[in-house]
Each structure stands twice: as structure tokens, then as C-alpha cells.
Amino acid sequence: MDERSLKTTLYEQVARIGQALASPKRLELLELLAQGEKTVDALARQLGIDLRLTSAHLKALREARLVVGRREGKFMVYRLTGADVAVLGVQLRAVAETHLLEFQNAFAQLVASPGQLAPRDRKTLMAQAQRGEVVVIDVRPASEYASAHLPHARSLPLDELRQRLAALPRDREIVAYCRGPFCLMSDEAVAILQAEGFQARKILDGVSEWQAAGLAVAAA
């Protein structure tokens, strides 16, 4: 193979990744699978689309070697092929935030209450959590927390939050997080906590953002 043909082949292989990601639903699939492995049925429910379309999107991602599936009884279970795939999603979003005005405008609406954001850098927040000065809660489902979570975070799924308020201290700030900047579960958690008189704010990070920053995550 001559040099020109070799370069063309290499660019074609890189383009396979771009082609696989050229769908909003596939990008959302990567974000969901970054939280841990999931069945096709669960992914379809979370995406709000039918099983056939979900399977078609997963096939495109599988052909690009971004996800892998296995059969578990009558279910197909999928996971990312590596943490670098989750980091790729974070990097794509960062480029969009830097260069696309449309993204910036939409994202500004999503985080329209900046007073609810905890103004701390990651290492400072974890140091405070380790010392018990703040309480970091992971409001994702327990299975996602078990797969990976921020260090020193407590698992407090959103659907259990109201029933477990007594377990939270009222003399310290509560900092909630979920799947990343586009996830609204932490907003709901903060609203519940503030309505009950807690000091509560959120961070935009999820596990993928932590990994993209080169920081360690924990697993149950």
C-alpha cells in the first residue's frame, strides 16, 4: 500500500467513530452507558424511543467498537468498551460549548439558576467531603453508583430522597450530582432539599467529567 492509500485508510477508520457519533440519541446512549452497563429495554425507556430504534443505534455504536453487548438470559446487556469512550463524549461536549453559540444559549437555559451551583473546584470539594465539611450525594440509581461514583459520595437515589431526609445533616451543605451537565436529577434533588430547609446545591460533574479531568473515581 502506498503512502497516500495508507493515509486515506487511516482517516477512513477515524471517520468511523465520527459517523457512529453523528446522532443525538447515540451520544445520549454513550452518556447512559458511562454510568454502567444496561439492558436494551432500560436504555429504550430512558431514551424515550422504541426497542427497535434503540437496537439500531446500539448496532451502529457496536460496529464502531464503542460498545459491546452480551446476553444475560433473555436480555441483551451493553457497556462501553472503555473509559476513554466516556471521556470522548465529554470532550465533544467541551468543543461544542467553546465553538457553538447555539449550544451556549441552550446550556444557559439548562443552568438558569447559577445560585444552585456549588462554586468549588473538584479537589477542594473532595477534600471538604473527606473532612465531613460538606455531604456529597449521588442521586443516580443505586446500580449506577455501584458501578462508579465520586470519592466520599453517598448513594441517595432521587426516588428515595424524600424518605431518607432524616439521614442528612442540617448543619452542613449538601452537594448533589448525577450523570453530568445535562442531567436534571440533581436539580430535582436540590429543589426537594431546599424546600425542606437544607442548605443544598449541585455540581455539573458526573463520573465521566471526573475521569476526563484525570481524577479517580470509586466503586462499591
Residue ranges covered by each domain of the chain: 3-81, 112-212
3-81 adopts what CATH topology?
Arc Repressor Mutant, subunit A (1.10.10)
| Chain segment 12-45, per-residue pLDDT in tens | 999 999 999 999 999 999 999 999 999 999 999 9
- Tell the burial category of 175 from Cβ atoms under 10 Å away from its Cβ (0-12, 13-18, 19+): buried
Mean pLDDT of all residues in 181-189: 94
| Chain segment 109-162, per-residue pLDDT in tens | 887 676 678 777 899 999 999 999 999 999 999 999 999 999 999 999 999 999
Residue 10: its pLDDT value, please? 95
Nearest CA-CA partner of 119 in 212, 202, 190, 186? 202
Contacts of 159 (CB under 8 A, 6+ apart): none
Q: Are 152 and 126 in contact (CB under 8 A)?
A: yes
Residue 117: its pLDDT value, please? 81
Instruction: Give the global pTM.
Output: 0.91
Q: Active-site residue among 58, 178, 183, 185?
A: 178
Per the annotation, the verdict on 183 as an active-site residue is no
Helix axes 24-33, 51-63, angle to 10 degrees: 80
Fold match flag (3-81 vs 112-212): no
Q: Are 103 and 111 in contact (CB under 8 A)?
A: no
Residue 22: its pLDDT value, please? 95
Report the CATH architecture of 112-212: 3-Layer(aba) Sandwich (3.40)
